[in-house]
Amino acid sequence: MKIDLKIGGETIPLHFGMVALEEMQKLVTSYMGTNKYASDVVWAGYLNHCAIQAVVPDMLYADVMEILETHFFSEEKEVDSNLNEILAAFEKSKAGSRLFQAIDDLVDVVANGNEELKKKKRVVNHSTTSKKSRSGK
Please check whether residue 115 lies inside any domain of the structure.
Answer: no
Give 51's pLDDT tier (boundaries 50, 70, 90). Answer: very high
Please check whether residue 121 lies inside any domain of the structure.
Answer: no
Please check whether residue 8 lies inside any domain of the structure.
Answer: yes
d(CA 51, CA 18): 10
| Contact present, 81 and 7 (Cβ < 8 Å) | yes
pLDDT reading at 31 higher than 70: no
Based on the structure, what is the number of domains in the chain? 1
Higher pLDDT, 107 or 62: 62
Residue 77 belongs to domain spanning: 2-107
Does the predicted TM-score (pTM) go above 0.75? no
Please check whether residue 82 lies inside any domain of the structure.
Answer: yes
Percent of the chain residues past pLDDT 70, beyond the cut: 72
Please check whether residue 129 lies inside any domain of the structure.
Answer: no
Q: Over the Cα atoms of the chain, what is R_g?
A: 23
| Contact present, 11 and 102 (Cβ < 8 Å) | no
d(CA 119, CA 83): 45
Q: Is 57 helix (H, G, I), strand (E, B) or coil?
A: coil
d(CA 28, CA 122): 34
